[in-house]
Structure 1
Amino acid sequence: MLKQIVENYSIITPLSTSDLNPRGASACPQNLIFHILNDNSQNVEILDIGFGTGNLGSLIKHYDKTAHWHVDGIDGFQPNCNNTQLFDQKIYRNVWHGLAQQLPSDLLRKYKIICLLDVIEHLSSDTAKWLLRTLLTSMGDESFLFISTPLWFWPQNHIQHNDLEEHLIGIPATSMMALMPTMYAVNHPLVGGFVFGKRSLDFIEFFQPTSDKNFSYERGVAIAEAIKFQHTPGTLIKL
């Protein structure tokens, strides 16, 4: 069930306590967010799916050229939605506890950039395919989808049952490039960030993750090199 925690920068519901700390710091090239639009001075609304510890929101709000952007967040991990310290900083305008697939399409359509950073590897293959199709279908014609993921099966287990922390799939570079990104960048160890427009919906059938835990870092690099994928950390590639 979708539950709103923060509305217009104010906590609107009592927060619960947990023995677990907020989690979800991303290894992806988050600075890619500053290169997506031609004009960062415009009013922009961002949706941060799986906001974790709030690193992306903090990055946006502490950069003078994007501090005026409005960032909303949704996360399925309860401790992330109880982060009073983060919410008191007024970084996230609206926050929901729940899953991205619970958000109505009319809400998704209003965002200029939808961010899905280090999230899809936590989903099953079928759910990941469904979510990408849903986001691309629902977002506006001039909007962008910013996705990051390890381009191999990065082993990570859950902390407690159903906590959404376990990695369930690996995504080869071929899958992400087949969706026709407008730009991409990579961080070590082979964690890619990709920006997609609406036209990527026409190529969604070519997104093919794997649940094979033997899809190692070395195999991920081999695939990247086979398609001449630029995986030098810190390099921004515009297509």
Structure 2
Amino acid sequence: MRAIVQDYHLVQTIPPGEYRFAGNSVGLKEIVGHIFPNPARNVSLLDIGFGLGDLGRIVKTNPALQHWQVDGIDGFWDACCNTELFSQGHYRNIWHGLAQDLPMESLQAYDLICLFDVIEHLEPAPAKQLLTDLLNSLGPESKLVLSTPLWFWPQAHQNSDDLEEHKIGIPGQSLLLLSPRMYHIHAQFLVGTFVFGKESLEHIDNFVPTTDRNFNMTAGLQHLHTLGVKADGVLYIAP
């Protein structure tokens, strides 16, 4: 793991080159503003797979949230060369590396860990292990935000090191049975965004991703219908 930005200052020399910045998501990033009842509280947020930096921008341009501290980590080197993004001052610290590289004590320091459209890039066993580790790192008031397609959305590499390939699909049941505090399912793209607390660790065995590429959007939508869940773009909050 390599530090790129520390305390809002670039600490790594970025060599000249043509960089391709990637990693956007249709997950509901604005959900982070609905998680904590007291908007004035200080929140430290870790953006895993920050990509284009949309989450940092959404937080730091929201007057109610701009006092939050946002850190980011991304395994795609080009994303870590986005000096224009870093100059905007949205991210306090940036690292080049994988979430799996972060020690437990570092994860435990965050009030909010966000994983927008990242977990589908892992094989089933590493995906479950990462989710387990992140949930295990949460304190009593900390939360994990996870978004992912609720079907096997085919996506391949654009170049050899971009980490863009999708390796699993995740049926909605796998995440709904983790007892999310709130969730939102994008009506057009069938991408779910879920907020979990540490108690979801008790249900981790319900997380069963699939490598079946025939689990397409139609199958994912039918699966949700059998659960009585709507992909309607509404934010649902657990009582």
- TM band (smaller chain): over 0.9
Hey, what does 2:129 align to over in structure 1?
A: 130
Query: Displacement, 1:140?
Result: 1.7
Query: Displacement, 1:70?
Result: 0.5
Query: Displacement, 1:15?
Result: 1.4
Hey, what does 2:12 align to over in structure 1?
A: 13
TM-score normalized by structure 1?
0.97
Hey, what does 1:221 align to over in structure 2?
A: 221
Hey, what does 1:117 align to over in structure 2?
A: 116
Root mean square deviation, CA, Å: 1.0
Supply the AA of the counterpart residue of 2:210: T
CA 238–3 in structure 1, closer or farther in 2 if over 3 Å, else same: same
Alpha carbons 1:61, 1:68 under 8 Å: kept: yes
Alpha carbons 1:18, 1:79 under 8 Å: kept: no
Q: Deviations over 1:66-118 (max 9, x none)?
A: 01100000000001000000000000000000000101111100111100000
User: What aligned pairs does 1:122-201 form with structure 2 within 5 A after superposition?
Assistant: 122-187=121-186, 188-201=188-201
Query: Displacement, 1:159?
Result: 1.1
Supply the AA of the counterpart residue of 1:210: T
List alignment gaps of at least 5 residues for structure 1: none
Supply the AA of the counterpart residue of 1:123: L
Query: Displacement, 1:17?
Result: 4.3
CA 111–30 in structure 1, closer or farther in 2 if over 3 Å, else same: same
Alpha carbons 2:138, 2:197 under 8 Å: kept: no
SS at match of 1:199: helix
Compare 60-69 and 132-141 and name the one that shifted more: 132-141
Compare 92-101 and 179-188 and name the one that shifted more: 179-188
Supply the AA of the counterpart residue of 1:224: L
SS at match of 2:127: helix
User: What aligned pairs does 1:24-173 form with structure 2 within 5 A after superposition?
Assistant: 24-173=23-172
Query: Displacement, 1:19?
Result: 3.6
Supply the AA of the counterpart residue of 1:213: R
Count of residues paired in the alignment: 237
Query: Displacement, 1:18?
Result: 4.6
Query: Does structure 1 residue 23 correspond to structure 2 residue 22?
Result: yes
In the aligned structure 1, how far is the partner of 2:64 from the partner of 2:132?
31
In the aligned structure 2, how far is the partner of 1:172 from the partner of 1:162?
27
